[in-house]
Each structure stands twice: as structure tokens, then as C-alpha cells.
């Protein structure tokens, strides 16, 4: 075997160049030891990508092990392109969430679009047909003169997500959008996709069978996004203009045909393994496929379809051009796959073969440009236990501050409804196709989206949640709360959670305060996952979300999928989209409040948005109380008692009642025996439900037997929201509230 050598014109590989590639001296030394020589330029690029935080999870791996990852439903947990769980009737669901924060800040339209593209490929490479997307977005301040750039980012991200998902034909059925100044220098774009397939049709990204051909399919390779996974690379800037990385450009049409062609190829019976080329492109796809199969690969880089002939092996291996896939097929059967792809107008070329050497050997123009052991590079990437300690100002942050009751609770309600944070998000949702594929029973704007599963009596429910202020004030409680709220949202529609994915967005883990936030949030999430018996089946970590030392609020976005076994059971009180949505629709229904208020305001919407303060401890998440509430909600749904349900979240009881009333413009008359401040408390494990009068008794009995505090507080009806409290009343036409709520976001985005 020839020793790999450098190619004319390539820079000299030394520890300085390695440092420019983000490798520490130890990492570079370890790489040299592993190879028994100094790496070639191409090898250095490959190692830097595989050792990057994005690919290796080197700072988070040690904490991620805290998550429970198994249950009787889990087919594939973390480590595949997407996690897979059984959802009943012979079907499985594949899903994952991933961040595209950095590219979206640089170029919002393409950054967000390619984020959607990447997550869709992660799902269909598992053999699953994507059926829904969610997007969790965090922006900085958008109002006033200072918000001009942020408004441009909001517009670009929303159009980017819409144009991509709409074209591919996958409905965006929910998500969340938040605004906070901690995102002024780093926005968050977290895209989630869910797919389904028959349980015997799952594929994995595994290269196996020595001699089997490796096919490259889809778009040609260009210079876009080189080193996207490593992010920074000063070597590039000082090299030449031509090598400067560019943000990837998405082509949703190619994605759509690649999706159809790939699923058809997978049905053909000759495909053994599939992997998309995402972050770190051909490098990560080939190395990870080989590592999973315990195999090696040989690639002839001259056979890779290129957009321009002048690409170097280094660039070919690190390009992040979009809409590309790798297939491993049975030997001699590759023609069948090539034919399917070409019928869909796609190029496919054989670029190499699987070997049993355990090494990746790459040749280019007759020379070996890389020859590296696969397994030690992929699974043996460095793992760091970074120093973690609460930041010096944490204690001060957690000091409780006085929270004055509102002089005029109605005014306070309207002020909250008029913020972009709590205002109606229709301006965003209506740029996303939410009904294509004709499965959407409940779409955007509700606690959980609900999609029927055609051909079965069941439905899938999905939601994404996190409260960054809670996480900033007390990361462990914030982590717990994110999971609790997501599971609660699913319980409002009667769905049993079957699996979780997440996207952990934090600042630099090299800062002990941030490393501590990461560890604590994960610990809180893991506690909640165990309490609710929800396995984590996939996920993504996005670190270094900071600008000039200002980190984003810790934002561990959680997305959970649940199953409603029999839709027929939950719909006895009326049309499914009414019953499962969270708005009042039937005058005369009783309104019942579940759960207990402890008067908690730390990190609440009232405190943040009206008082301009973010301090104290966030609401306590009592996992037992949550378990009891969720059980009650699911039981009530299965029994068909409920005509509606909405959990209490940001803004507390008054905001929840207002949201239920504004949904269909139907009012409510209710009374509670607490003061005006309590109307805005964000105590957890609470929900309001509506029931026909003849079902109240059943609900009360069930609640008592489960130990869930329960109170009938009023009736649905009329066109006003009337809430009597100790010492006063809120009384407003629902239409007035609606106007303020609907105008909030359009006004803010201009």
C-alpha cells in the first residue's frame, strides 16, 4: 500500500495548521500517533471535521449518557440518522430535531431552508416517509430601530422554512417562536421532522459486505459549506478567496425527487444501507457508515460528480453541498438503483466499495490522499469532561424580587397579548403549508399538533417546548419543565408519549458556567424523562452560540411524539379538530381548572414582559403532580369526556382562558378565589378543560382519585371574557382581545 502523500499546492501540515482547523495540540498529537505519521492535508481536514463538536459531541457526550434511551417501543435510539419507535399497528415513527443556528444568522433564508432539508433527509434515509415538520425559533429583539436586522432575520428564516417545506410537500404543523435579547447576536433555528413507515421497512446507515459498491446520488459536489461542521478555519481566510467557504444553498425540488427516488430504491430490495451527506459531507457519511458496519471503505474521488473540475480532494471530502446521498447496494445490483434514480432525473455514480480493512482509503488522480482507520476516528474521538460550575452571578440572579400585582389586570392581559412573544403567530404559520398530505387534524397554534395515521384507528401528536428564561434562572428546573410541558401538551389531546428528541442550544462549553448549564439542563431533562417513561431516541447539540462573550439563554429544545391509540374514543363530544384543539367552541360547556397554584413568578411572562425583570427561581416542577395530571387528562380523553383542553403555560390562567376564547371568538364566564397577581402565576402541572355538564361528575371523581386538585370555575358562552377574582373582575369583549393579539406580530415585523 502506498503511503498517502500531499498534492502539489497543498499547505504544509503542522500543529499550527491543525490549530487553525480547531484541533488542540493533544488532538493533533493523538492523530499523528494514530496514523504513525503526520497526516496529509486531506486527512487533517477529515479529522478536524470528525473531531468537531458538531460530529463528535466531545463536550456533551459525557452528559448525554444521563438520558434514558430505551423502552419497549424503541427500535433505534441515538446514533442513527433519526430515532425510531413503534407506534402500533405495524407502524414505526422516525424523528429527529437539528439546529441550523449559525448559517441562519449569516444567511437566514438559505440557512433555515437547508436546516429543513437536512432534517428531512435524516428521516427518509431511515426508510420513513416524512409526514410533518415542527420549527422552534428564537430571535432577539425585533422592535424599534435596533430590531431592523432581526426583522430581516425573522422574515428570511420564515420564508426559508416555508419555501423548502412547502415545495417538498411536508406540512409544518407547529413549533414555537420566542423573542429575547439574549438571541440578539445568535438566533436559534431548530428544525424537527417526523416520518413513518412499516416496521419491516426501516433502513440504517450501515456499510457492510466487503466488495459491495458505494453509490453517490443527487446533486453534484461544489465548494459550498466547506468546513461547516468545523465552523471556523483561519487557514481558509488566509489562503485565498476561491477557498472561502460559502453558506450552502438549498434546492427543495432536488430534495423532493431525491426523497421519492430514495424511498423507491429502498423498496427495490437491493439497497443495504443509506446515508445522507449532511454536516461534514462525504467525510461523515462514509466514515459513520463504515464505523456502524465495522467495515472499511475505498473511494475513488475522481468518480465523485463535481460542479467544477478544479475541486481538490480536501474540498471534495468536506463540501456540504446539499441534497446528496450515499447508497450501499448488493454487489452487481447497483444498476437497479441507478435506473430508479435516473427515472427521477437524478445522477448516480459508483464512487467506491466497502472493504473489510477497517480503514478509509481515498485515492485521487492515481494517488492515495488519505488512509485512515475508521473506528478510532469516529468512536474514539476525544471526549471532554469540561470544568463546570455555576457562574458567579447565579446567586444574585436567583434572588427573589418583589412582584407587584397589576393595578389593572385587563390592561396587563392586553399588554401581554400585544407582545410578539405571546401574540398570535398566524403571520408565521400561514406561510407554511400545514395541510398537505391530508393528515392534519390539529395544526399550528395549539398545544399539540395531531395527525391521523392513515390506515389505522390511531393518530400521532407532536409538540416542541422549552422556556429559556426558566433554564437561565435554574437550569435543572428549566430542563425538567421543558420535558414536563411537552408531555403535558401531548396529554391535553390524550396522547401517550413514545419518544423524545432534542436540540441543546448553549454558549461555549469552555466557559464553566455554560458547561454547568448544559450539565444541569440535561440532568433535569433526564429526571423528567425517567418520571414520564419517555426515552430519548435522537438529538443534536449546538454549542458556541455566543457573540463577544454574550451567550444565548440555555435553550434545550424538546420535541416529543405521542400516540392516540383510538381517535374514535376521544371524539365522542364533537368534531375531532374542535375537541382536540384548545379553543372554546360549545356554549354551555363547564370550564374546570386542574392543578394547584403556588404563586410562582420567577421567569414568568408577567415578570419578564411587563416588569422587565428576569429573576428569582422558576416555577417548581413537581414530577409526581405532573404524572398525576397527565394520567387524568389521558384517562378523560380516552373516556371521551372532554370537549377541549389547554394547559397553563406562559402567562398563567388568565392568558390560557383568553387563548381559549380568542381561538373561535367564543367567551367564558368564570370566577376564582385568588388575587389579581395569581392570574399570571406560572405554577406547573395545571390545565383547563371543558366538559359537558353531564360529564363533570365523572371528571371530578377521577381527579380526586388521582389526587389532582380540581375546581369548576365557570361556563363557556357569550362573546365576552369575564373572570371574577378576589376584589375585582376582568371583563372584556373577546373581539377586543383578539384584535390586540392578532396585530402584535404583524406590527412588530413591519
User: b/e for 666-704, b at 16 or more Cβ within 10 A?
Assistant: bbbbbebeeebbbbbbbbbbbbbbbbbeebbeebeebbe
**Binding status of residue 324 toward another protein by CB under 8 A:** no
**Binding status of residue 711 toward another protein by CB under 8 A:** no
- Residue of 439, 744, 394, 375 whose CA lies nearest to 567: 439
- Of 429-437, 491-499, 502-510, 709-717, the window that binds another protein (rule: CB under 8 A) is 429-437
Beta-bridge mates of residue 668: 716, 721
- Residue of 750, 7, 712, 749 whose CA lies nearest to 365: 7
Choice from 220, 577, 669, 739 touching another protein (CB under 8 A) = 577
Closest separation between CB of residue 221 and another protein, Å? 20
Of 70 and 430, nearer to another protein (C-beta) is 430
Closest separation between CB of residue 169 and another protein, Å? 2
607 to each of 340, 406, 626, how far by Cα in Å?
Answer: 58, 11, 24
Give the DSSP H or E segment for 671. strand 668-671
Residue with C-alpha cell 465523485? 304
**Binding status of residue 440 toward another protein by CB under 8 A:** yes
**Binding status of residue 437 toward another protein by CB under 8 A:** yes
Contacts 24+ apart (CB under 8 A), 241-247: 243/315, 247/103, 247/106, 247/107, 247/110, 247/111, 247/114
Q: Are 418 and 52 in contact (CB under 8 A)?
A: no
577 a catalytic residue: no
**Binding status of residue 344 toward another protein by CB under 8 A:** yes
100 a catalytic residue: yes
Alpha-carbon span 486 to 464, nearest angstrom: 6
- Of 55-63, 464-472, 573-581, 628-636, the window that binds another protein (rule: CB under 8 A) is 573-581
Q: Which three cell numbers stand for residue 126?
A: 431511515
**Binding status of residue 689 toward another protein by CB under 8 A:** no
Of 578 and 653, nearer to another protein (C-beta) is 578
**Binding status of residue 567 toward another protein by CB under 8 A:** yes
Largest CA distance in the chain: 87
Choice from 89, 220, 452, 742 touching another protein (CB under 8 A) = 452
**Binding status of residue 339 toward another protein by CB under 8 A:** no
Choice from 368, 431, 572, 696 touching another protein (CB under 8 A) = 431
**Binding status of residue 159 toward another protein by CB under 8 A:** yes
Choice from 90, 169, 269, 728 touching another protein (CB under 8 A) = 169
- Of 51-59, 250-258, 527-535, 586-594, the window that binds another protein (rule: CB under 8 A) is 250-258
Choice from 211, 269, 345, 728 touching another protein (CB under 8 A) = 345
- Of 79-87, 134-142, 166-174, 481-489, the window that binds another protein (rule: CB under 8 A) is 166-174
Q: Which of 54, 180, 429, 553 is catalytic?
A: 54
**Binding status of residue 434 toward another protein by CB under 8 A:** yes
**Binding status of residue 729 toward another protein by CB under 8 A:** no
688 φψ region: left (φ > 0), alpha (ψ -120 to 50), beta (else): beta
- Of 26-34, 437-445, 514-522, 525-533, the window that binds another protein (rule: CB under 8 A) is 437-445
Choice from 253, 339, 347, 750 touching another protein (CB under 8 A) = 253
Q: Are 370 and 43 in contact (CB under 8 A)?
A: yes
Closest separation between CB of residue 457 and another protein, Å? 11
Of 167 and 613, nearer to another protein (C-beta) is 167
Of 158 and 377, nearer to another protein (C-beta) is 158
Alpha-carbon span 620 to 524, nearest angstrom: 12
Residue ranges with strand state E in 330-384:
348-355, 359-364, 367-373
**Binding status of residue 606 toward another protein by CB under 8 A:** no
Closest separation between CB of residue 440 and another protein, Å? 7
Choice from 77, 117, 127, 162 touching another protein (CB under 8 A) = 162
**Binding status of residue 454 toward another protein by CB under 8 A:** yes
Closest separation between CB of residue 447 and another protein, Å? 17
Choice from 256, 359, 488, 646 touching another protein (CB under 8 A) = 256
Residue with C-alpha cell 459550498? 224
Count of residues interacting with another protein (CB under 8 A)? 35
Of 222 and 443, nearer to another protein (C-beta) is 443
Contacts 24+ apart (CB under 8 A), 61-64: 61/383, 62/383, 62/384, 62/385, 63/518, 63/519, 63/522, 63/523, 64/522, 64/539, 64/541
Choice from 70, 335, 430, 566 touching another protein (CB under 8 A) = 430
Measured in residues, the chain has a length of: 750
DSSP assignment string, 507-565: S-TTSHHHHHHHHHHHHHHHHHHHHHT--EEEEEEE---EETTEEPPPEEEEEEEEEES
**Binding status of residue 745 toward another protein by CB under 8 A:** no
Alpha-carbon span 538 to 553, nearest angstrom: 22
Bridge pairing between strands 720-725 and 668-671: parallel
Q: Which of 21, 86, 100, 227 is catalytic?
A: 100
Tell whether the torsion through CA atoms of 243, 248, 254 and 259 is positive or negative: positive
Backbone angles phi, psi at 232, to 5 degrees: -95, 140
Please give the residue ranges that form the binding site for another protein (CB under 8 A).
159, 162-163, 166-169, 251-254, 256-257, 260, 344-345, 429-438, 440-441, 452, 454, 567, 575-578
Instruction: List residues with catalytic annotation.
Output: 54, 100
Amino acid at each position: 500500500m502506498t503511503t498517502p502523500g500531499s498534492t502539489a499546492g497543498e499547505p504544509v501540515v503542522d500543529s499550527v495548521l491543525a490549530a487553525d482547523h480547531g484541533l488542540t495540540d493533544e488532538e493533533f498529537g493523538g492523530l499523528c500517533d494514530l496514523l504513525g505519521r503526520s497526516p496529509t492535508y486531506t486527512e487533517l481536514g477529515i479529522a478536524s471535521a470528525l473531531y468537531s463538536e458538531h460530529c463528535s459531541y466531545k463536550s456533551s457526550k459525557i452528559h448525554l449518557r444521563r438520558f434514558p434511551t430505551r423502552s419497549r417501543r424503541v427500535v433505534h435510539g441515538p446514533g442513527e440518522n433519526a430515532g425510531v419507535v413503534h407506534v402500533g399497528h405495524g407502524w414505526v415513527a422516525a424523528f429527529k430535531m437539528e439546529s441550523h443556528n449559525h448559517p441562519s444568522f449569516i444567511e437566514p433564508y438559505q440557512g433555515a431552508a437547508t436546516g429543513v432539508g437536512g432534517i428531512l433527509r435524516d428521516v427518509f434515509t431511515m426508510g420513513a416517509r416524512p409526514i410533518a415538520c415542527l420549527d422552534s425559533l428564537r430571535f432577539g429583539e425585533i422592535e424599534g430601530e435596533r430590531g431592523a436586522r432581526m426583522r430581516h432575520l425573522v422574515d428570511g428564516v420564515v420564508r426559508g422554512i416555508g419555501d423548502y417545506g412547502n415545495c417538498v410537500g411536508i406540512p409544518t404543523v407547529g413549533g414555537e417562536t420566542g423573542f429575547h435579547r439574549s438571541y440578539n447576536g445568535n438566533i436559534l433555528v431548530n428544525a424537527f421532522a417526523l416520518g413513518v413507515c412499516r416496521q419491516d421497512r426501516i433502513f440504517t446507515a450501515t456499510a457492510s459486505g466487503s466488495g459491495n459498491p458505494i453509490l453517490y446520488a443527487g446533486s453534484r459536489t461544489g465548494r459550498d459549506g466547506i468546513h461547516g461542521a468545523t465552523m471556523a478555519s483561519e487557514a481558509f481566510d488566509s489562503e485565498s478567496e476561491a477557498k472561502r467557504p460559502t453558506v450552502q444553498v438549498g434546492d427543495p425540488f432536488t430534495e423532493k425527487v431525491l426523497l421519492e427516488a430514495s424511498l423507491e430504491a429502498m423498496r427495490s430490495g437491493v439497497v443495504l444501507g443509506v446515508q445522507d451527506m449532511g454536516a461534514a459531507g462525504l467525510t461523515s457519511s462514509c466514515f459513520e457508515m463504515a464505523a456502524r458496519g465495522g467495515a472499511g471503505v475505498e473511494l475513488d474521488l475522481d468518480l465523485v460528480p463535481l460542479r467544477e473540475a478544479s475541486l481538490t480532494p480536501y474540498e471534495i471530502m468536506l463540501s456540504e453541498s446539499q441534497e446528496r446521498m450515499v447508497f450501499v447496494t448488493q454487489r452487481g445490483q447497483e444498476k437497479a438503483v441507478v435506473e430508479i434514480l435516473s427515472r427521477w432525473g437524478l445522477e448516480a455514480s459508483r464512487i467506491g466499495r466497502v472493504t473489510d480493512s477497517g480503514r478509509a482509503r481515498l485515492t485521487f488522480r492515481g494517488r492515495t490522499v488519505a488512509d485512515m482507520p475508521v473506528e478510532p476516528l469516529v468512536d474514539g474521538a476525544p471526549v471532554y469532561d469540561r470544568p463546570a460550575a455555576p457562574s458567579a452571578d447565579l446567586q444574585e440572579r436567583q434572588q427573589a424580587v418583589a412582584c407587584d400585582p397589576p393595578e389593572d389586570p385587563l390592561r396587563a392581559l392586553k399588554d401581554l397579548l400585544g407582545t410578539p412573544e405571546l401574540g398570535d403567530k398566524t403571520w408565521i404559520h400561514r406561510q407554511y403549508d400545514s395541510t398537505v398530505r391530508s393528515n392534519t387534524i390539529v395544526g399550528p397554534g395549539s398545544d399539540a399538533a395531531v395527525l391521523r395515521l392513515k390506515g389505522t384507528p390511531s393518530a400521532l401528536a407532536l409538540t416542541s417546548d422549552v422556556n429559556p428564561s426558566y433554564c437561565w434562572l435554574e437550569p435543572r428546573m428549566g430542563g425538567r419543565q421543558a420535558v414536563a410541558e411537552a408531555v403535558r401538551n401531548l396529554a391535553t389531546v390524550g396522547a401517550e408519549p413514545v419518544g423524545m428528541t432534542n436540540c441543546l442550544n448553549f454558549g461555549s462549553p469552555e466557559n464553566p458556567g455554560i458547561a454547568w448549564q448544559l450539565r444541569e439542563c440535561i440532568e433535569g431533562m433526564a429526571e423528567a424523562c425517567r418520571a414520564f417513561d419517555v426515552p430519548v431516541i435522537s438529538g443534536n447539540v449546538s454549542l458556541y452560540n455566543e457573540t463577544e462573550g454574550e451567550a444565548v439563554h440555555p435553550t434545550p429544545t424538546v420535541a416529543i411524539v405521542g400516540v392516540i391509540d383510538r381517535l374514535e374514543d376521544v371524539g365522542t363530544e364533537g368534531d375531532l379538530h374542535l375537541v382536540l384543539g384548545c379553543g372554546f367552541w360549545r356554549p354551555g360547556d363547564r370550564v374546570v381548572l386542574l392543578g394547584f397554584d403556588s404563586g410562582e413568578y420567577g421567569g414568568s411572562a408577567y415578570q419578564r414582559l411587563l416588569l422587565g425583570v428576569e429573576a428569582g427561581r422558576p416555577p417548581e416542577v413537581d414530577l409526581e403532580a405532573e404524572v398525576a395530571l397527565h394520567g387524568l387528562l389521558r384517562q378523560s380523553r380516552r373516556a371521551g369526556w372532554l370537549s377541549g383542553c389547554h394547559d397553563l403555560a406562559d402567562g398563567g390562567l388568565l392568558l390560557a382562558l383568553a387563548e381559549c376564547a380568542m381561538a373561535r371568538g367564543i367567551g367564558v364566564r368564570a370566577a376564582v378565589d385568588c388575587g389579581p397577581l395569581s392570574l399570571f402565576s406560572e405554577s406547573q402541572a395545571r390545565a383547563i378543560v371543558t366538559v359537558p355538564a353531564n360529564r363533570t361528575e365523572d371528571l371530578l371523581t377521577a381527579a380526586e382519585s388521582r389526587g389532582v386538585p380540581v375546581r369548576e370555575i365557570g361556563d363557556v358562552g357569550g362573546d365576552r371574557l369575564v373572570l371574577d377574582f378576589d376584589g375585582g373582575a376582568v371583563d372584556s369583549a373577546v373581539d377586543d382581545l383578539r384584535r390586540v393579539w392578532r396585530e402584535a406580530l404583524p406590527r412588530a415585523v413591519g
